[in-house]
């Protein structure tokens, strides 16, 4: 399934809209039921409105009612396997991913957990802590 997921991420990368950075990224998420959703980065002249491939893939799945994921694969044309940005890492931490596959267009991969990508992440448990700061 990992090769299928990588192929889906690479295909999504072809649809990236990156006229400013020319840095095209594709992502694919596999649900616990084996369904695959993809996303690509979509840039905007107002850079802060740009949305990454990883978030677009997760959001597409969530819009379809999915809440449980198995794997995310992200791919870009980089020397080493590409890693998600900080905003994407935080979104990934919101859902129970079993593993994250970082990849590049040369076929190199590195598999990590969300906790390895975002140690000490802010999660729902952080909202249950009573504020003792005064």
Pairing of strands 109-112, 69-76: unpaired
35 is catalytic: no
As given in the structure block, the two tokens for residue 6 are 């990588």
Options 2, 30, 43, 54, the catalytic residue: 54
As given in the structure block, the two tokens for residue 88 are 């994407």
How far is it, in rounded angstroms, from Cα 35 to Cα 92? Answer: 17
Query: Which residues, at least 6 apart from 7, have a Cβ–Cβ distance to it below 8 Å?
Result: none
How far is it, in rounded angstroms, from Cα 105 to Cα 91? Answer: 24
Query: Mind telling me the catalytic residues?
Result: 54
């Amino acid at each position: 399934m990992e090769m299928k997921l990588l192929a889906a991420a690479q295909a999504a990368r072809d649809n990236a809209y990156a006229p400013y950075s020319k840095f095209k990224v594709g992502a694919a998420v596999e649900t616990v039921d084996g369904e695959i959703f993809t996303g690509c980065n979509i840039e905007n002249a107002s850079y802060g409105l740009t949305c990454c491939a990883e978030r677009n893939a997760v959001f597409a799945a969530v819009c379809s009612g999915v809440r449980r994921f198995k794997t995310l694969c992200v791919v870009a044309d980089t020397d080493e396997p590409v890693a998600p940005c900080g905003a994407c890492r935080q979104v990934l931490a919101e859902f129970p991913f079993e593993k994250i596959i970082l990849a590049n267009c040369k076929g190199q991969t590195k598999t990590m957990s969300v906790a390895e990508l975002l140690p000490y992440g802010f999660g729902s448990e952080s909202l249950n802590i009573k504020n003792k700061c005064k």
